[in-house]
């Protein structure tokens, strides 16, 4: 399992590739890899968004992400989980989060990937502040899945 808070540009595909290469012991064991990548949009709630600051709670955020990943491995028969989340200053098109799940069959990989994202969005300590043309605002609620 790899769980990280990322302070500079996140490269989701490179992260997935390099982590899978490290898990040579899983070669031949997994038949499914499900990935989710969350990317910053240039609009929200009908407004153009030019930049965003992602704030977190150092310590608690890392610990909480680890709990979410562990929870998924308890609920679903998965082989491994990768979970990395950006913090700091972001621009549209910057990746925010990557989740990858490896399992023997597709059902568990899809389900665990989705479950991790839903739990993350509703419980992980991150806060988004958007910069609009008209000023800055804190995002008050999550977008529906």
Partner 1 sequence: MSIRVRFFASLREQMGYSEKSIAFEGLATVSDVLERLDKARILDAQVLYAVNMEYANSDTPVKDGDEVAFFPPVTGGGP
Q: Which residues bind partner 1 (CB under 8 A)?
A: 36-41, 54-57, 59-60, 63-64, 85, 95-97, 117, 120-129, 138-143
Residues 6 or more apart whose Cβ sits within 8 Å of residue 13: none
Nearer to partner 1, 79 or 116 (CB): 116
Q: What does the buried/exposed string (b/e) look like for 114-130 if buried means 16 or more CB atoms within 10 Å of the residue's CB?
A: bbbbebbeeebebebeb
The least distance separating partner 1 from the CB of residue 108, rounded to whole angstroms, comes to: 21
* Cα distances (Å, whole numbers) of residue 137 to 35, 50, 120: 30, 12, 21
Q: Report the phi/psi class of residue 96: left, alpha or beta, with left for phi > 0 and alpha for psi in -120 to 50.
A: alpha
The least distance separating partner 1 from the CB of residue 83, rounded to whole angstroms, comes to: 11
Nearer to partner 1, 24 or 141 (CB): 141
Number of other residues whose CB lies within 10 A of the CB of residue 100: 25
Q: How far apart are CA 111 and CA 11, in angstroms?
A: 23
Nearer to partner 1, 41 or 71 (CB): 41
Nearer to partner 1, 111 or 130 (CB): 130
The least distance separating partner 1 from the CB of residue 78, rounded to whole angstroms, comes to: 19
Nearer to partner 1, 46 or 140 (CB): 140
The least distance separating partner 1 from the CB of residue 80, rounded to whole angstroms, comes to: 21
The least distance separating partner 1 from the CB of residue 74, rounded to whole angstroms, comes to: 18
């Amino acid at each position: 399992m790899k769980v990280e808070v990322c302070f500079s540009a996140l490269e989701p595909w490179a992260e997935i590739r390099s982590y899978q290469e490290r898990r040579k012991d899983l070669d031949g064991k997994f038949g499914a890899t499900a990935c989710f990548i969350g990317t910053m949009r240039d609009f929200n709630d009908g407004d153009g968004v030019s930049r965003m600051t992602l704030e977190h709670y150092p310590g608690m955020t890392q610990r909480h992400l680890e709990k979410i990943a562990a929870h998924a491995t308890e609920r679903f028969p998965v082989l491994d989980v990768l979970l990395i989340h950006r913090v700091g200053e972001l621009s549209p098109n910057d990746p925010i989060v990557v989740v990858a799940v490896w399992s023997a069959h597709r059902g568990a990989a899809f389900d665990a990937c989705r479950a991790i994202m839903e739990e993350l969005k509703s419980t992980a300590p991150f806060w988004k502040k958007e910069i609009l043309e008209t000023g800055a605002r804190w995002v008050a609620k999550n977008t529906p899945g």
